[in-house]
Structure 1
């Protein structure tokens, strides 16, 4: 486990590791020597040889001073490595998350990630700053005391040398189930964290459906599971500590018995007997201390495995060579893809979106429409075939180059807990004031700013909670407008908006898509009708393609879809007149 922890130390701090080990071992050896010096000090005092006693006291004082120096060095070097490890690990995790497929985040919640990046790294820090010294001290001091005791009273030393590995074995057996228990606690805590965040973010929905307090079954269940996991850990850890403590006390009694037997048999003096009992107590203390931190070590080992597991999540291969986009078209060439390899969502899909044209993608739910947009933005790599954006395969161009060509407006708009202005400029902070104003006006965000206390400098709340759904869409469109990328991926989300918000958003979309290459998952008939080509997707395949007029003339799947949507838009509630 220690090797795994040290493997996570950043390269610039790894040179300090030998210095840390040297300081810990020197501290432990000087501590053992200080314990052993009790024997000659007490012997000299009992012999009433004050001169010799003072000499041994001075030697002991010098040893304690050396111990203090190395204790300070081990603490300062350990803390320095621990702080550097925190910064280095969190940076590594951040860089690794940036390299993971965007789709990875759709199946991994914020709760587990936050625990790994904060709690687990703190546990690993503690291993370097605190636990490592305790563990080595608990090993080196007893061994050094036992070896030194060979020159004072070999019988007592023999008991020490035999008992130390037995104690470590008892501790291991008593706590062997701790790791699985700790994993259960971590999973339960991560689930509880996610549910608490959800509880805070979804208050309007929860209150509307009476799912607050005891009515929130998901939160109640998560908290109950967390309490149960903590109880199980206590039931596992405490018996182990009790058993180990009993064995330690039995060992001390055995050592004391051996010393007293030697004294009553005339083998050692009263001074030596007292000193040996004191040294035996010092021998026991580090062993007991090691047992107390062993659970912390196992918890740290689990934390190391979780951090390592996250860092080993496969990333998308990053192209190293520079690529210059030669066009603004999009092409799918015999693309097959599935979120699970055995269940393809798209099968042998081929089509082209020429530069400057709009392609609408329609079809039933689950047909793979949104997946097409995700693959164009390289949320995932395809299983076979090739996705081409800007004249180059998405795998052949650096992520930054690919995403610089794309403006994305998806159904689920996420706004950061910052101001309206900061949310709009996040993709292009260097934009001029005039460019910012044009984007704001085109998306009608100026109407939103007019009612906010600080205009565009007003915070939008976590996830944009201070704004309505339509207003969040407007901000996202302004963000995409300001980026001004040549290719627009649009997962239209206007069906749930009120007529005014819908009209504003549609105007913003039209402004966004002028002279751009557009792939749009279409829900609105007006968007479908004006597309340069329409792809009707079903079961991961294109079953019909053509313009609106051509597809209606075919009188096939698209025509049925169009007629059904047309009838739906004409639905209304007839007024009822009460009888006279």
Structure 2
């Protein structure tokens, strides 16, 4: 468990954790040794001169006081180290997530990361603060007491020692029996969390489609599966808990019988027999608590395993000697890419000269957005190369590549903060004048004028307090402020009303001016002014040329164009 914790946290936390574990172990040993003083205390009390117990009682009180001081220090150390580990774990997790390729963030990871980054991390890091001290005490204190019993009577000590492997076997068996149930419960909890998040995010769509009943059923099914998994997990622990309890009780009963036999035979005195039985009873309580503590530790370990797997997810490799491109032309050189076994792009070769505009069109699922993602290096290609300024993007540092590119997506995400804070994400060090100029170019100033608090208006989580067109204008202003030489546009106007579409188009035209642009669009009117149009279908380039050239050919692009005009002509 500790090795797993250290692997997840990193070697820099090894020393404080080892120091805390050593202090907890010393505390547990001190507790066990303090009980050794009960033998002379009870021997004196049952003897002819009970007053002789006074010095031993004083020594016993001092030992208990020393144990209490050690316990306080170990608990305090555990809480402090646990808090430090929690902070360190969040930092390490955040740093690692920031290095993972953006293509890793699929929608099915929402529930997983929500559970792992919130309750999961707290549960795993609580091991040091709340679980390790009781576990060490439950394991080490009984062993110390067994050694004390052995020191006073080897027969009783040997009998107590024989119980150690039996208790260890019962504890290990409990862990094996409950492992599958714990894993299933964790998986169902993760799935249920994802369903809850999905249900909340999809409310507008579900209500518009009148399908709230069906979605409730899906969520209810997920919660019922979680309930069943929790019940099975709880039931699976019962045999182990009962087995451990019976083992401990049988151990105590065996010691009671042996002590009675030895006392009746005159081999030990009544005081020694009573003291050894008191010590044996003191062993039972922590041993019985092992079942509960062990369950919590197994839960924490399962979280640590998932954290370890996440932290060992390899980010895209960074070049040892990164090259910064001096030009801004783009090229796809025989690019092939797929998700798992599903091919998305096959043998794509395409050049985009510096300062030119290229539009990517085609049916849904053709691989258009994937082309943009490969340019921004959300993924690495399976074969071929993607080049910026003649340099393979794999030879450019992530930071260097992102500095060269401004991306405007169809679905804009804004952070919970003010309008100004979201615009400044494009270039945090920009002056107020530059921020205002970018907003004016994106026609965001019109929106700000009608907002209640202007620039300081809170946009809500994800930008929920703004309309889709308003969020898109913030996104364009952010891209304009960044002032990157390469612009990637992904369906930026497909879901806007005519007024917002006109405003966004004006902002997009200013954003594209003098820059290398690759745009993806379904509305073909938006690509007429592109220097070059590429028609993509089934991951392959079917046609390419200018708007007029493709219309004259009468091919796939012409069919798409005529289809886009059909509703207007009716």
Match of 2:329 in 1: 329
Match of 2:551 in 1: 552
Match of 1:578 in 2: none
Once the two structures are TM-superposed, the CA of residue 211 in structure 1 deviates from its matched residue by: 4.5
Mapped to 1, the partners of 2:209 and 2:544 lie a distance apart of 43
Mapped to 2, the partners of 1:213 and 1:560 lie a distance apart of 40
Match of 1:85 in 2: 85
Runs of 4+ in structure 1 deviating by more than 4 angstroms, as ranges, are: 210-215
Contact 2:331 2:386 in 1 (8 A): yes
- Report the 3-state secondary structure (helix = DSSP H, G, I; strand = E; otherwise coil) of the residue aligned with 1:385: strand
Match of 1:101 in 2: 101
Once the two structures are TM-superposed, the CA of residue 484 in structure 1 deviates from its matched residue by: 1.4
* Distance of aligned partners of 1:98 and 1:293 in 2 relative to their CA distance in 1, 3 Å threshold: same
Match of 1:273 in 2: 273
Match of 1:510 in 2: 509
- Report the 3-state secondary structure (helix = DSSP H, G, I; strand = E; otherwise coil) of the residue aligned with 1:150: helix
1:154-200 CA-partner distances (Å, limit 9, x unpaired): 22211110112101211222342322222222222222222323333
Note the residue ranges of structure 2 that are not aligned, 5 or more in a row: none
Once the two structures are TM-superposed, the CA of residue 215 in structure 1 deviates from its matched residue by: 5.7
Once the two structures are TM-superposed, the CA of residue 76 in structure 1 deviates from its matched residue by: 2.4
Match of 1:537 in 2: 536
Contact 2:108 2:194 in 1 (8 A): no
1:261-303 CA-partner distances (Å, limit 9, x unpaired): 2222333222222212111101222212222211111111111
Mapped to 1, the partners of 2:568 and 2:412 lie a distance apart of 25
Match of 1:119 in 2: 119
Give the alignment of 1:93-242 within 5 angstroms: 93-212=93-212, 216-242=216-242
Mapped to 2, the partners of 1:214 and 1:411 lie a distance apart of 28
- Report the 3-state secondary structure (helix = DSSP H, G, I; strand = E; otherwise coil) of the residue aligned with 2:503: helix
Contact 1:336 1:383 in 2 (8 A): yes
Once the two structures are TM-superposed, the CA of residue 322 in structure 1 deviates from its matched residue by: 4.6
Note the residue ranges of structure 1 that are not aligned, 5 or more in a row: 572-580
Contact 1:26 1:67 in 2 (8 A): no
Question: After alignment, is 449-458 or 498-507 more displaced?
Answer: 449-458
Once the two structures are TM-superposed, the CA of residue 51 in structure 1 deviates from its matched residue by: 5.2
- Report the 3-state secondary structure (helix = DSSP H, G, I; strand = E; otherwise coil) of the residue aligned with 2:151: coil
Once the two structures are TM-superposed, the CA of residue 94 in structure 1 deviates from its matched residue by: 0.8
Contact 1:345 1:367 in 2 (8 A): yes
* Distance of aligned partners of 1:82 and 1:400 in 2 relative to their CA distance in 1, 3 Å threshold: same
Mapped to 2, the partners of 1:110 and 1:314 lie a distance apart of 19
Match of 2:27 in 1: 27
Match of 1:290 in 2: 290
Mapped to 2, the partners of 1:172 and 1:310 lie a distance apart of 27
Match of 1:575 in 2: none
Equivalent pairs counted in the alignment come to: 570
In the alignment, is residue 346 of structure 1 matched against residue 353 of structure 2? Answer: no
Question: After alignment, is 533-542 or 127-136 more displaced?
Answer: 127-136
1:470-495 CA-partner distances (Å, limit 9, x unpaired): 22212211111111111110012323
TM-score by length of 1: 0.94
Contact 1:9 1:81 in 2 (8 A): no
- Report the 3-state secondary structure (helix = DSSP H, G, I; strand = E; otherwise coil) of the residue aligned with 1:333: strand
1:514-543 CA-partner distances (Å, limit 9, x unpaired): 111100112233332211111111121112
Contact 2:75 2:129 in 1 (8 A): yes
* Distance of aligned partners of 1:199 and 1:555 in 2 relative to their CA distance in 1, 3 Å threshold: closer
Mapped to 2, the partners of 1:553 and 1:215 lie a distance apart of 48
TM-score by length of 2: 0.95
Once the two structures are TM-superposed, the CA of residue 49 in structure 1 deviates from its matched residue by: 3.2
Mapped to 2, the partners of 1:228 and 1:209 lie a distance apart of 31
Contact 1:211 1:217 in 2 (8 A): no
